[in-house]
Structure 1
Amino acid sequence: MQFAHRMNIPPSATVAVNNLALKKKAAGERVFNLSAGEPFVPTHSAVLDAARCALDEDKTNYTPVAGIPELRQAAVQFMNRTYGTAYTFDQTVITCGGKFGLFALFQVLLNPGDEVLIPAPYWVSYPSMVQLAGGCSVIIDTEESIGWKITPEYISSHCTEQTKLLVLNNAANPTGVLYTKEELQALLAAAKSRGLFVVSDEVYSGLVYDGKEYMSCGAFAEFHDMVIVVQSVSKHFAMTGWRAGIVFGPEEIMKKIITLQGQSTTGTSSITQWASVAAFDHAEEICSFIRDTMQHRRDVFFDALFDVFGVRFEKPVSALYGFFPMSHFGVHNMDSVTFCTDVLDTVNVAMVPGSAFGKEGYVRCSFGLVESELHDAVAALHTYFA
């Protein structure tokens, strides 16, 4: 069968590895799934109660395509209160997860041949999403030695007349990079000088550690007309399977996303939306618990790695992952896919190869699992090298 040329894209590497891990688990094997990009924390009881209430009250019909008003308003209030933005009701749309929010943005903003600047390491789905929208990804390679960050000079040197978008992932998957206010301001100014829109993926903004301050790209009034922020309930509230994302940005762009949703998903589940309202109602309590829990698990994981391997990896200040050079484990003559496949086959530890993030020679490991699983995963890794 001949498929559309746009489908010449790879499967999501993170989904693929997770599926292999789940397949092994279903076969009765014990698997240490360090590939899963989620905080393994039970969804808050108030969220579950709200979902049950929505079912009991038969709130199971179609919702407005842009999302129920209660959720849009709750999301705007949370964003403005927490991150110092100034969004209005008409500047937000509820989507089927943050992932579809990003997909929708590329669909409504890109024409064939438009270029999108993507710093690497990047979240695995950015290039494929751009390709599906007819755009071209221009990868800006960064290095661990400079903190995995881009500067305004990187933007200038990679721009052409076809460049339309810059994607910023702050806080970043897979590196845990966190940009400062001054760094973001300089990047946004550089993007504005080249007439670019900036898509700011901020779904990990609730997972910032060690007392670090988070700055949203949406908080700069002078760049409000060129910045679109993507958020999600998944990481903030441990609701990964509920699938609710939020997009904030200029009203004319939100209208186009609503049109796209009206011809595709029609919006996300009504039950999910009512549950998400409850999550925002209890946001401070839920977010602080998840953040503190993940910071503790990060410390447990990195301390265990030091105890077993004698290597003091730098702890990320945000997100859910360690992005480790394979050389620090003594692996030099093997690509990351082969290494991760062999580790999964041999000791049942699932990791994601760095090549999926545009950076060969690295692996991504999540510290979202409970502490005992993290300890046992490190012990299993040790047996691989024994």
Structure 2
Amino acid sequence: MDRPLPPALSPIAQQLSESSIRTIANFGMTQADVIPLWFGESDIPTPDFIRQAAAHGLEQGDTRYTPNNGIPALRTALAEYQNRLYDQQFDQHNIVVTVSGTNAVMLAAQTCISAGDKVVVITPVFPTLFAVPQLLGAKVEQLQLSQNGHRFELDLDALFHAAKDAKAIVINSPNNPTGWCATKEQIEAICEFARRENVWVISDEVYARHTYEGDSAPSFCTFMRESDPIIVCNSFSKAWCMTGWRLGWLTLPRAITPTITKLIEFNVSCAPGFVQAGGLAAITQGERFIEQTRERFLTARDMVAQALSDIPGVTLYDMPATFYAFVKIDGLAANSQAYILRMIEEAKVGVAPGEAFGLGGSEHLRICYGCDLAVLATALERIRDFLLTHRPE
């Protein structure tokens, strides 16, 4: 006879919402001939020079424990990479290697957030960024980006008012799902606020290289000082198409590196050596690859704009960065899953529900346009026809 589960499960874990993106994907993957635009990854394979570097590591037997905070060669390369982009003077002691960008966010949060703390999260945003503070017992307050025509904007006065008594601000720029980017002036102002009010900033910048103006989006790395309460989270997943490798990093003041290193020991121990070998190749040899993928995504972005910008009752927001289109559908229910499931069944294309991304996401759909251009053309034709013929009930 099956016994019931013990009663002492964590109430925080039990109350955590299931990802509606995964719900959509799980259904879509059971259907034939569906074009999947729900997950946040491109269909470009990890480039060969990265795979070969990791394979060489395996051949050399690089399968043992590594330093908790990453191999020195990769940490040094990451510091030099960011120094070039942001005119900084980081060294390896400002860098900690993590097992994915998600792990980077968790480690940053565990470093500065305690149960009962107030944390302000700028939304819409990938759900991990408000779920992680919730798992730690924090009181999460979502601050919604404002909408101005076809643009998303951040109201700094509203942010500073909300964060006056907060322990931390969580920001994702360039932003998933909206493509919004904070300006250099806004980032500098947030840095000054953090110093003045002694508020932590956790900045998720995994899409920093997927901007269509300049080599990198404006970054907190540019303005960071050694005494600042700022931690920048990053990942190899997006810029180098390494989603399955689970490799990321943190940029942070040297003084807190020992604390995060201890947390890594008790979370994941270390990132695999052969995976870090692939990351080292990405950082030192990957600029041309980033340029090529950005060119393809720019073409894809233009295709999205041409296909979806003139549909009555549909608002397509500006796309200055990332590889996402965020689309508002007038009259779409707060829970858009039924509408998307119908799209999957009838139009044979699937997207992500906007409500998965917190406040400001309802009545929206997120479309990942990181796929092959011919496939994208077919998907956009199907989405356009569906939106024109299936108004929300």
TM-score calculated relative to the size of structure 2: 0.90
Unaligned runs of 5+ in 1: none
Structure 1 SS opposite 2:245: coil
Q: 1:22 to 1:157 in 2, by over 3 A?
A: same
Cα contact 2:95–2:252 (8 A) shared by 1 = yes
Matches within 5 A, 1:162-201: 163-201=166-204
Q: Given the alignment of the two structures, is residue 6 of structure 1 paired with residue 12 of structure 2, yes or no?
A: yes
Query: Are positions 1:151 and 2:170 aligned together?
Result: no
Residue 374 (structure 1) aligned to one of 369, 373, 376: 376
Amino acid at match of 2:156: P
- Structure 1 partner of 2:350: 350
**SS of match in other structure, 1:241:** helix
Trace 1:69-148 onto structure 2 (pairs within 5 A).
69-145=72-148, 147-148=151-152
**1:20–1:266 CA distance, 2 compared to 1 (3 A):** farther
- Cα distance change on mapping 1:185 and 1:101 into 2, 3 Å: same
Partner of 1:305: 308
Shift of 1:313: 3.1
- For residue 104 of structure 1, report the CA deviation from its aligned partner: 1.2
Q: Report what 2:293 is aligned to.
A: 290
Is 2:231 the counterpart of 1:228? Answer: yes
Q: How far does the alpha carbon of each residue in 1:196-248 deviate from its partner, in whole angstroms, 9 at most, with x for none?
A: 11111110001001448622112114585221111111111111111100101
In structure 2, how many angstroms separate the alpha carbons of the residues matched to 1:160 and 1:150?
A: 16
Amino acid aligned to 1:22: M
Pick closer, same or farther for the CA change 1:120–1:310 going to 2, 3 Å. Answer: closer
Cα deviation 1:355-386 (Å, max 9, x = unaligned): 11122111111101111111111222244353
What is the aligned residue count?
378
Deviation at 1:306, TM superposition (A): 4.5
- C-alpha separation between the residues in 2 aligned to 1:310 and 1:338? 19
Is the contact between residue 117 and residue 139 of structure 1 (CA under 8 Å) also seen in structure 2? yes
- Alignment gaps of 5+ in structure 2: none
- Are 2:176 and 2:322, in contact at CA under 8 Å, matched by a contact in 1? yes
Helix, strand or coil: the match of 2:153?
Answer: coil
- Whole-angstrom CA distance in 1 between matches of 2:74 and 2:302: 34
* Residue identity matched to 2:382: A
1:310-325 superposed matches below 5 A? 313-325=316-328
Q: CA deviation at 1:37?
A: 0.4
| Structure with greater helix share of residues | 1
Q: Structure 1 290/268 Cα, relative in aligned 2: closer, same or farther at 3 Å?
A: same
Q: What SS does the corresponding residue of 2:64 show, helix, strand or coil?
A: coil
Distance 2:243 2:221 in 1: 23
**Residue 28 of structure 2 aligns with which residue?**
21
Letter of the 1:288 counterpart: E
The structure-2 alpha-carbon separation of the partners of 1:273 and 1:257, relative to structure 1 and needing over 3 Å to count, comes to same
Q: Is the 8 A contact 1:152 1:190 kept in 2?
A: no
SS of the equivalent of 1:256 reads helix
Counterparts of 2:163 and 2:305, CA distance in 1: 38
SS at match of 2:244: coil
Q: How far apart in 1 are the matches of 2:226 and 2:259?
A: 20
Native 8 Å contact 2:53 2:277 kept in 1: yes
Does the 8 Å CA contact 2:333/2:362 hold for their aligned counterparts?
A: no
Paired amino acid for 1:346: E
What is the letter of the counterpart of residue 357 of structure 2?
Answer: F
Which amino acid in structure 1 is aligned with residue 162 of structure 2?
H
How many angstroms does 1:21 deviate by? 2.9
Aligned-residue sequence identity (percent) comes to 26
Q: Distance in 1 between matches of 2:342 and 2:301?
A: 25
The structure-2 alpha-carbon separation of the partners of 1:355 and 1:223, relative to structure 1 and needing over 3 Å to count, comes to: farther
Question: Do the aligned residues in 2 keep the contact of 1:151 with 1:183 (CA within 8 Å)?
Answer: no
Stretch of structure 1 that moved more, 145-154 or 251-260: 145-154
Q: What is the TM-score of this pair, normalised by structure 1?
A: 0.91
1:240-319 aligned at under 5 Å gives the runs 240-306=243-309, 313-319=316-322
Q: Which moved more, 1:315-324 or 1:146-155?
A: 146-155
Q: Please list every run of at least 4 consecutive aligned residues from structure 1 whose deviation after the TM superposition is greater than 6 angstroms.
A: 307-312
